[in-house]
Amino acid sequence: MSSRVYPIDWRDEFAQLAPYLGGSGGVIRVRYPGQRCAPSAFLSTLKSEYECKDDGSSWVSIRIDHAVYSVRYLSGIRDEFVRKMQVELPRPDNAGEAPASLDIFADVNVGGDINANISNITQNNYISGDNAALLSRNRDKWIRELCDRLERFLGDCHIMVIINHGNHADQDEFWRFIWQDRLEKLDKLLLVHMFDVADEGGVIHDLAPAPCLEFELPTALTPRTQQHAVEDLAQIIVRKFPKMSSAEAQVRADTLVRTHINNIARLHRQYAALEMQLGRAAG
């Protein structure tokens, strides 16, 4: 199970997300105007809220982000699904094996005997990228196998797929080959699409689905959400440092929030720094 991450406010947003965090499938689009909204912290909290349950079911999430090399291409996305679901799938038909021989020590003059024994040699024959039709058939085959296995997984488990913000070209393979006519048919799948509205060159892919729920992350705290943030942060501090009094935690939380009400990302960074400081002091 993932380590627990508790939200600092975002109460309105998570109230809207409640049915989906409870197991409903659907499509959610989260808009955010730049990094001041702390989108990374929001995703960490969302992942924790989704995965950290004690109901005996399997709750997993997958984040697809072009900035993360391991899931930049379709093969990496496949491997991530397999890893998170803890299943085995047939190897994609992009490589074959054949027995082979190997010549060693050819035309070598030495002053004594040479004994060499090499056996069980396997030659890997990789399909050339020049054969577009064959590559397309192989890709469609493993995607179909993956989606069939995912549908069975969703019979008694839960999975959330997060598509982080990216440009049209970076996300084209996912929407075109994995989502369209594949994942979009799985009613129990939860898809969260992050979109940075501050990206002037950003555009929602034409194959991206219409959302069941859409909202925008705030860049600053209002008087109401400021109070929520203080309450949440004080509880987080006491939970992390149980020897600290509630009064001291309240003061520390209030100071942090008041100092950073106009930059939610900085609030999260400063709390992380405070946690490290308190941790060192506690030994």
Is the pLDDT confidence value at 21 over 70? Answer: yes
- Taking residues 205-211, report their average pLDDT: 95
| Pick from 11-15, 35-39, 173-177, 201-205: least confident | 201-205
Predicted local distance difference test score (pLDDT) of residue 101: 52
Query: Each residue of 98-148: pLDDT tens digit?
Result: 455 555 554 545 455 555 555 555 444 434 455 777 778 888 899 999 999
Three-state secondary structure call for residue 273:
helix
- Taking residues 191-196, report their average pLDDT: 97
Instruction: Return the structure tokens found at 212.
Output: 């069941």
Closest of 194, 262, 183, 195 to residue 222, by C-alpha: 262
Q: ∠ CA(179), CA(180), CA(183), 5° rounding?
A: 40
Query: Each residue of 209-268: pLDDT tens digit?
Result: 999 999 999 999 999 999 999 999 999 999 999 999 999 999 999 999 999 999 999 999
Query: Each residue of 47-100: pLDDT tens digit?
Result: 999 999 988 889 999 999 988 988 988 989 999 999 999 888 777 665 444 455
Model confidence at 281, in pLDDT bands (50, 70, 90)? confident
192 φ/ψ angles, rounded to the nearest 5 degrees: -115, 120
Predicted local distance difference test score (pLDDT) of residue 123: 42
Tell me the CA distances in angstroms from 52 to 7, 15, 84, 198, 264, one per residue in order.
13, 17, 15, 31, 24
